[in-house]
């Protein structure tokens, strides 16, 4: 555990939950990833889709104790002609959120611990081991809070 703590000190600010290291990876095969669907209101939904091999993501921040928010390049996220955007927008138009499609604001992908361990990824910056170390830290921290709140 001591070794993990020293890694965390180097790569992650425990107080602000901000990375001290950049994390960027490329999918080495098509992969089903979840994402949040943001609407003006405010209202947020969720869905998932198959993201094509070769897509590059930057990790932005922890989402919860077992997942991180990830974003594609700004150019891809804003491109209405991008095939992945077309698929996600079409799912909103025809799926369970079709009544609020006019309030669509965008999407936020996320990747879970299980996916980090199982989806073939090529890290362009940072490492899979460091991301998993941050997850371990977050889980320990949450477990401490659960013990404090619920076992008194």
Query: Domain boundaries in the chain?
Result: 2-142
Please give the structure tokens belonging to residue 94. 């025809």
Residue 148 clears pLDDT 80, i.e. is over it: no
Can you give the pLDDT at residue 117? 96
Residue 147 clears pLDDT 60, i.e. is over it: no
> Mean pLDDT over all residues of the chain?
86
Going by C-beta distance under 8 Å and a sequence separation of 6 or more, which residues neighbour residue 67? 110, 111, 112, 113
Between residues 136 and 6, which one has the greater pLDDT? 136
- Helix H, strand E, coil C: the string for the chain is CHHHHHHHHHHEECCCCEECCCCEEEECCCEEEEEEEEECCCEEEEEEEEECCCCEEEEEEEEECCEEEEECCHHHHHCCCCHHHHHHHHHHHHCCCHHHHHHEEEEEEEEEHHHHHHCCEEEEECCHHHHHHHHHHHHHHHHHHHHHHHCC
Confidence of residue 96 (pLDDT cuts 50, 70, 90): very high
Can you give the pLDDT at residue 8? 78
Over residues 1-41, the pLDDT tens digits come to 455 667 778 888 877 778 888 999 999 999 999 999 999 97
Between residues 117 and 134, which one has the greater pLDDT? 117
Q: What percent of the chain has pLDDT over 90?
A: 57
Q: How far apart are CA 20 and CA 1, in angstroms?
A: 20
Centre a 10 Å sphere on the Cβ of residue 74 and count the other Cβ atoms it contains: 9
Q: How far apart are CA 36 and CA 138, in angstroms?
A: 21
Whether the full predicted model's pTM is greater than 0.85, yes or no, is no
């Amino acid at each position: 555990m001591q070794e993990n703590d020293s890694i965390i000190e180097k790569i992650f600010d425990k107080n602000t939950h901000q990375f001290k290291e950049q994390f960027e990876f490329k999918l080495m095969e098509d992969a089903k990833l979840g994402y949040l669907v943001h609407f003006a209101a405010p209202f947020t939904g969720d869905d998932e889709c198959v993201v094509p091999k070769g897509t590059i993501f930057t990790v932005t921040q922890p989402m919860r104790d077992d997942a991180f928010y990830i974003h594609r390049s700004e150019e891809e996220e804003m491109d209405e002609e991008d095939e992945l955007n077309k698929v996600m927008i079409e799912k909103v138009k025809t799926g369970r959120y079709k009544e609020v499609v006019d309030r669509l604001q965008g999407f936020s992908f996320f990747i879970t611990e299980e996916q980090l361990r199982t989806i073939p990824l090529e890290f362009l910056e940072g490492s899979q081991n460091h991301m998993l170390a941050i997850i371990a830290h977050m889980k320990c921290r949450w477990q401490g809070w659960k013990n404090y709140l619920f076992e008194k």
